[in-house]
Amino acid sequence: MIQPICLCGEPLQSGANYCTLCGREVRQICPVCFEERRLLHRPGGSPSSWCLARGELLNACVRCGRWLQTGISSCPDPNCGGVVEPVWPASVGKSPNGAGRTNGWQWPSVWDRHNPAHKAPVIGGWQSSSTVYAAFLAHGRLYAWTGDALLSPDPPGASTQDSRDAWRCWLGFGSDPEPAFAASSLAALLGGAAILAARNDFVVAGLYTGKAIEAVRMNTGTPIAHTASALYWAGWAEGAEGAALWYAPVSPVWRNTAAKRATQSTREMAPRRGSKMLIDGDTAYWVSEGGVLCALNCTTGEAATLTAALAGQHVGWCDARGVRTVTAGADGIRVALDPVVQDGLLREAAGGDGPLRDLFMADGLTAVVGDTVVTLDSHTGYVQGGGRFNGQWIAGAIAPAESEAPDQEPRLLMLTRDGEDGSLVALRPSSGGEEFVWRARGIRPIGLLTAGSMLSVVHDRGTVTIGT
């Protein structure tokens, strides 16, 4: 345990609530239980982001370190106003905005073959005794959906069988996953909970591992598609009256997560089962079964159509400016360079051939995965390079270089399955050069997780952790 220090640099006496030098509050009353006092958050200083009395998640202000309930996105201190966010980076696979970035994970330049200080990746892992449907990283831990439970191996990422002391959240009878969903879209993270697309309903599971927890059903009907940001969850479900659109704000008390029906949504807006929904802040996007781009504003609860029907239209990625679409047809893959505006003209760039498998966007670079990988300048659409992948595409992520790396070039991580082998390769977009990261026989990869210093391949029998 490191000795806590005040923002002013003064070391704090044990148990002190105020700094003896500057008078600043250094231990605040917990905003959930109002019982415990907790040290203000400092990078590397606070191991738990949970209210230990109630088992609810707290977020922290990045400037002053004040803990706040989930759902508050800027610091209420008028002298601060900093951004409030979860203190641990998280990953369910593909990022909810579709950009496929790595949540703080950087490509280690020591993994480059030509680096004089080259080191091979260090492989560890966790083995499950039953089939793993999905796994994710959140709140500094690994969670996995196996059988009818969500579990978190203890200690996180340890090379053990799932032992009896591992934490479990029972999901209820018949809570195997909805089969149309890809592993990376089964779980959506919302505050201190994960919302899981089970066969007959969305299920809300608390993630606090300090006690045994039972999940609660959302009672919306069979999941069709869903997504969540730090503030809202949005999802389509097939209920007794047909397909319906639901949304829920993040709740400081995860058990109180309650879904409301969106207004002005029609059954014709429903997406194909298992298809992708994106979200940025309070706006969710999807493409209807008939090819119409649609959006939901979760602040007002209003749904709207953004384009006419267009065959082969997909959502690509989104940010505060709007959503970029990708269209795949007989004349190849076309990537929109601008966000969609109603009745506006769209600049498009050619992104190679074949069915659209994936799309990534980071630092002005767009990588399109079809039959091959084509990378484009996100602003001009000019082709920058590309590469190939072997076997069946499973998942990927676009990783920035370390700040001290000589080339400063991002890498596209490519997780594929070739016959009985799973493999992870890093592609250098400019040259098409490849760096081998991991390969194993008889492992069926289903997803790729990157958050902070963690890189994990999820497979149907556990996870493989890859470190330096």
Q: Which residues bind Zn ion (CB under 5 A)?
A: 6, 8, 10, 19, 21-22, 24, 30, 32-33, 36, 51, 53, 61, 63-64, 66, 75, 77, 80, 82
How far apart CA 204 and CA 201 sit, in angstroms, is 10
- Shortest gap between Cβ of 228 and Zn ion (angstroms)? 24
Residue with Cβ nearer Zn ion (70 or 91): 70
- Shortest gap between Cβ of 465 and Zn ion (angstroms)? 31
Residue with Cβ nearer Zn ion (84 or 279): 84
How far apart CA 332 and CA 370 sit, in angstroms, is 9
Residue with Cβ nearer Zn ion (63 or 217): 63
For the chain, first and last CA: distance in Å?
Answer: 24
Residue with Cβ nearer Zn ion (21 or 258): 21
Task: Provide φ and ψ at 395, rounded to 5°.
Answer: -165, 170
Residue with Cβ nearer Zn ion (11 or 344): 11
Residue with Cβ nearer Zn ion (87 or 278): 87
- Shortest gap between Cβ of 199 and Zn ion (angstroms)? 35
The residue type of 39 is L
Residue 434, CA distances (Å) to 15, 104, 149, 440 in order = 53, 22, 38, 17
Residue with Cβ nearer Zn ion (58 or 414): 58
- Shortest gap between Cβ of 73 and Zn ion (angstroms)? 12
- Shortest gap between Cβ of 69 and Zn ion (angstroms)? 10
Residue with Cβ nearer Zn ion (21 or 341): 21
- Shortest gap between Cβ of 38 and Zn ion (angstroms)? 7
Residue with Cβ nearer Zn ion (250 or 349): 250
- Shortest gap between Cβ of 6 and Zn ion (angstroms)? 3
- Shortest gap between Cβ of 165 and Zn ion (angstroms)? 25
Q: Which residues have a Cβ under 8 Å from the Cβ of 114 and sit 6 or more positions away?
A: none
- Shortest gap between Cβ of 405 and Zn ion (angstroms)? 33
Three-class SS of the chain: CCCCECCCCCECCCCCCECCCCCCECEEECCCCCCCEEECCCCCCCCCCEECCCCEEEEEECCCCCEEECCCCECCCCCCCCEEECCCCCECCCCCCCCCECCCCCECHHHCCCCCCCCCCEEEEEECCCCEEEEEEECCEEEEEECCEEEECCCCCCCCECCCCCEEEECCCCCCECCCCCHHHHEEEECCEEEEEECCCEEEEECCCCCCEECEECCCCEEEEEEECCCEEEEEEEECCEEEEEEEECCCCHHHCCCEECECCCHHHCCCCCCCCEEECCEEEEECCCCCEEEEECCCCEEEECCCCCCCEEEEEEECCEEEEEEEECCEEEEECCCCCCCCCCCEEECCCCCCCEEEEECCEEEEECCCEEEEECCCCCEEEEECCCCEEEEEEEECECCCCCCCCCEEEEEEEECCEEEEEEECCCCCCEEEEEEEECCCEEEEEEECCEEEEEECCEEEEEEC
- Shortest gap between Cβ of 210 and Zn ion (angstroms)? 12
What burial class does residue 8 get, using C-beta atoms within 10 Å of its C-beta: 0-12 exposed, 13-18 middle, 19+ buried?
A: exposed
How does strand 213-214 pair with strand 167-170? parallel
- Shortest gap between Cβ of 51 and Zn ion (angstroms)? 3
Residue with Cβ nearer Zn ion (30 or 365): 30
- Shortest gap between Cβ of 96 and Zn ion (angstroms)? 25
Residue with Cβ nearer Zn ion (51 or 413): 51
Residue with Cβ nearer Zn ion (252 or 387): 252
